[in-house]
Amino acid sequence: MGARVNCAPMRYLPLLIASLLAGCHSAPLFPPAPNPTESRVLSPRPPAGSAVELVYGKKAVGHRDFAGAKKVLPSVFAGMEEDFYCGCRYTGKAVDLAGCGYRPRKSFERASRIEWEHVVPAWVLGQQRQCWQQGGRKNCTDTDPVFQVAEGDLNNLVPAVGEVNGDRSNFAYSAWTRRPIPMYGSCQTIVDFKGKRVQPREDVRGRAARITLYMHETYKLTLSSQEKKLMCAWAKTYPVDDWERERNTRIVRLQGRGNHWVTEPAKLKAVCG
């Protein structure tokens, strides 16, 4: 006689099926904004282990890597084509230097073009990660899913005159003078190369602060007490404006997730006091 097989009673089968189905409907980490008319394009697939599934394509809703982010950023700033650090107008990638009184410090070629600046530098996003230790930013961009999402986060990207973007490097924001000595003609942003710090023009300090607070909170980055104090002070002194609100609305449409420091004023009081 063959061995007897102990089978589970058939009455448990519906429970087993329900359990399996329940496991197929877990919520994603960053759910996309409700928009039934837009599809999520997912080709090619992101690396295994990614906390957030990257999307590809200009009409997809979700997080992109940096290469994908650069393709949709022009639409984020459509009608608001103004450089972050100097207030220079631009068309496409060409900066109207004469219109804003900008004088190149060193490189006319780089000053003449717009680049996409990380308000929180890519170095800050990656320098403590293993991928950076093993191959720098390129290695992180190629291999690290968490870095890919952070590097391409639309909330952290703004248009900047290329020369100022290059001079800023990975320097931290600071404020040390009420009467900045111009470095780039009429541009009010200045760079202290020796002290490795940047003082952005007053018009964007609140914006920079809210972006910085968002990035450090979202990606668990280290923010010193001194830096936090300064960002909180800027966020209070320079309140949210129409530019920020419109930019945030457009980012939500594309990424499904904006900056709650822009939309929730109570957040500032709760964290900064």
Inform me whether the pLDDT recorded for 221 exceeds 50.
yes
Query: d(Cα 101, Cα 99) in Å, to the nearest integer?
Result: 6
**Measured between alpha carbons, how far is 131 from 243 in angstroms, rounded to an integer?**
35
Q: What is the rounded CA–CA span in Å between residue 219 and residue 147?
A: 9
In a domain, 15, yes or no: no
Burial (Cβ within 10 Å: 0-12, 13-18, ≥19) of residue 160:
buried
Does any domain span residue 12?
no
- pLDDT the model gives residue 47: 38
Give the range of the structural domain holding residue 241, as residue numbers without chain letter: 35-272
Please check whether residue 13 lies inside any domain of the structure: no
Q: What is the pLDDT of residue 269?
A: 85
> Which letter does DSSP use for residue 89 in this model?
B
Predicted confidence (pLDDT) at residue 27 exceeds the cutoff of 60:
no
The answer to whether position 245 is within a domain reads yes
Q: Does 2 reside within a domain?
A: no
pLDDT for 51 equals: 60
Average pLDDT rounded to a whole number, residues 177-181: 94
Per the structure block, which two tokens stand in for 47?
């690396």
Q: How many CB atoms lie within 10 A of CB 202?
A: 15
Helix pair angle (205-218, 242-255), 10° resolution = 30
Mean pLDDT over the full length of the chain: 85
Within a domain: residue 125? yes
Residue 7: is its pLDDT beyond 90? no
Number of independent structural domains in the chain: 1
pLDDT in tens, 163-175: 999 999 999 999 9
- Give the pLDDT score at 258: 97
Q: Per residue in 65-103, pLDDT tens?
A: 999 999 999 999 999 999 999 999 999 999 999 999 999
Q: How far is CA 191 from CA 121, 139, 251, in A?
A: 15, 29, 29
> How many CB atoms neighbour CB 223 within 10 A?
17
Mean pLDDT, to the nearest integer, of 130-141?
Answer: 96
Of the candidates 24, 23, 54, which has an alpha carbon nearest to the alpha carbon of residue 41?
Answer: 54
CA dist., res. 72 & res. 55, Å (int): 12
User: Is 203 inside any structural domain?
Assistant: yes
Separation CA 54–CA 27 (nearest Å): 16
Q: Is the pLDDT of residue 146 over 50?
A: yes
The pLDDT, as a whole number, for residue 261 is 95
Phi first, then psi: give them for residue 79, nearest 5 degrees. 85, -5
Radius of gyration of the chain (CA): 23
Bridge partners for 191 per DSSP: 198
- Dist CA 124 CA 121 (whole Å): 5
Quick check: is 23 in a domain? no
